[in-house]
């Protein structure tokens, strides 16, 4: 074989070698979603070899998972606005000690207090007397008294003050002939303001004791 033939054969072999070494485009490979940076949280679908799920919110901040974006458009869920998050108005109809809470009957009898006081003002005594008369004529009913404060003072102090207010009302009811076993108290401190303002007009509404009538389900 002469030199020219040998050179031609070498050139042909080189071309074949180069052609067989070209990378071919892989098939059936799941595309990686936009936003994936190659990391995956331990225990995630990615770290365990699971399929990647593309979409908004992908990346480590979502625990290594790729989730489809959710529909964030507002929808009517049938929620009563008065009972939505942020509302301090508690609904009637809840069960307490096997009885139904009635927050409407004595809503107008809410007792208001002076600043930093738990003693009952003379102007509020008639409200408590009316509650006592109702209880004495409805032997199956009982009562919960909830004490509240305005926002001034520490949380711990206000909790204690609201408890003293509730107990002061309870003591008055007992003095009027209501059995002590029928009246419970609860202290909320400043947690459930009736008015969200930050002036005396709001504070005067928040220094209060509320009555919740508790009636057997058979009477509702």
Does 213 score more than 90 pLDDT? yes
> Which three-class secondary structure string do you get for 26-54?
CCCCCCCCCCCCCCCCCCCCCCCCCCCCC
pLDDT in tens, 53-65: 333 333 333 333 3
Residues 6+ apart with CB under 8 A from 95: 101
pLDDT in tens, 84-140: 334 455 555 788 778 999 999 999 999 999 999 999 999 999 999 999 999 999 999
Does 67 score more than 90 pLDDT? no
pLDDT in tens, 2-46: 555 555 566 566 555 555 444 444 444 444 445 444 444 443 333
In the block, residue with structure tokens 């529909």: 71
Look at residue 98 in the predicted model and tell me its pLDDT: 86
CATH number of 101-219: 3.30.1330.60
Look at residue 14 in the predicted model and tell me its pLDDT: 54
Look at residue 96 in the predicted model and tell me its pLDDT: 78
Does 182 score more than 60 pLDDT? yes
Does 76 score more than 50 pLDDT? no
Does 81 score more than 70 pLDDT? no
Look at residue 58 in the predicted model and tell me its pLDDT: 38
In the block, residue with structure tokens 């309870």: 170
Query: Which of residues 169 and 93 earns the better pLDDT score?
Result: 169
Look at residue 69 in the predicted model and tell me its pLDDT: 36
Rounded to whole angstroms, what are the CA distances from 175 to 129, 171, 219?
10, 6, 27
């Amino acid at each position: 074989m002469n030199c020219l033939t040998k050179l031609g054969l070498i050139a042909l072999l080189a071309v074949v070698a180069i052609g067989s070494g070209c990378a071919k485009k892989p098939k059936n490979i799941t595309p990686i979603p936009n936003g994936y940076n190659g990391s995956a949280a331990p225990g995630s679908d990615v770290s365990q070899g699971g399929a990647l799920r593309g979409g908004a919110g992908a990346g480590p901040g979502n625990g290594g998972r790729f989730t489809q974006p959710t529909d964030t458009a507002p929808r009517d869920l049938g929620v009563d606005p008065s009972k939505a998050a942020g509302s301090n108005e508690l609904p009637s109809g809840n069960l307490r000690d096997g009885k139904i809470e009635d927050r409407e009957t004595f809503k107008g009898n809410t007792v208001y207090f002076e600043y930093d006081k738990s003693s009952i003002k003379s102007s509020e005594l008639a409200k408590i007397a009316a509650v006592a008369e109702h209880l004495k004529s409805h032997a199956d009913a009982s009562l919960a008294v909830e004490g509240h404060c305005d926002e001034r003072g520490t949380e711990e102090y206000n909790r204690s003050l609201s408890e003293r207010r509730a107990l002061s009302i309870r003591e008055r009811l007992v003095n009027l002939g209501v059995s002590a076993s029928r009246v419970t108290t609860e202290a909320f401190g400043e947690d459930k303001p009736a008015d969200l303002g930050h002036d005396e007009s709001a504070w005067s509404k928040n220094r209060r004791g509320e009555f919740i009538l508790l009636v057997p389900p058979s009477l509702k």
